[in-house]
Amino acid sequence: QVQLVESGGGLVQPGGSLRLSCAASGRTFSSYALGWFRQAPGKDREFVAGISMSGTNTYYADSVKGRFTISRDNAKNTVDLKMKSLKPEDTAVYFCAASDHTTVLATAYDYWGQGTQVTVSS
């Protein structure tokens, strides 16, 4: 069992930056691949970024590649999402999630946080 809690969301102007953090409970954090997903009102949940158990390999949706960076700290049981050059279309509720294998499919993630709102607007 892993419990996840996101933080760091807020309001930012287009072109700005924001860093999201996800804190996990338990001592088996390093046994999970981690991902960030987002969901805008009326739209499906979308894969944003993923990171392997070791943190060596990362994966990004084309829409955020070059602007977002995912990282993890297994000693602190955290996974972060650094976002820059934010666009209005990045507005969504952002969720962190844990899986027993690296994947972009939301259905393969067993544990989810409650989400944090990111709003990009001028």
Backbone angles phi, psi at 29, to 5 degrees: -55, -45
pLDDT in tens, 82-109: 999 999 999 999 999 999 998 999 999 9
- As given in the structure block, the two tokens for residue 75 are 């000693």
* Percent of the chain scoring above 90 in pLDDT: 86
- Residue 96 and residue 112: Cα distance in Å, rounded? 6
Q: Check residue 29 and give its pLDDT.
A: 83
Mind listing the pLDDT tens digit for each residue in 22-47?
A: 999 876 788 899 999 999 999 999 99
Q: With 80 as the cut, is the pLDDT of residue 1 above it?
A: no
Rounded Cα distance between 112 and 122, Å, is 30
Look at residue 93 in the predicted model and tell me its pLDDT: 98
Residues 6+ away with beta carbon under 8 Å from 49: 35, 36, 58, 59, 60, 61, 64, 68, 69, 70, 81
Label residue 52 by pLDDT band (50, 70, 90): very high
Q: How far apart (Å, rounded) are the C-alpha atoms in residues 93 and 9?
A: 9
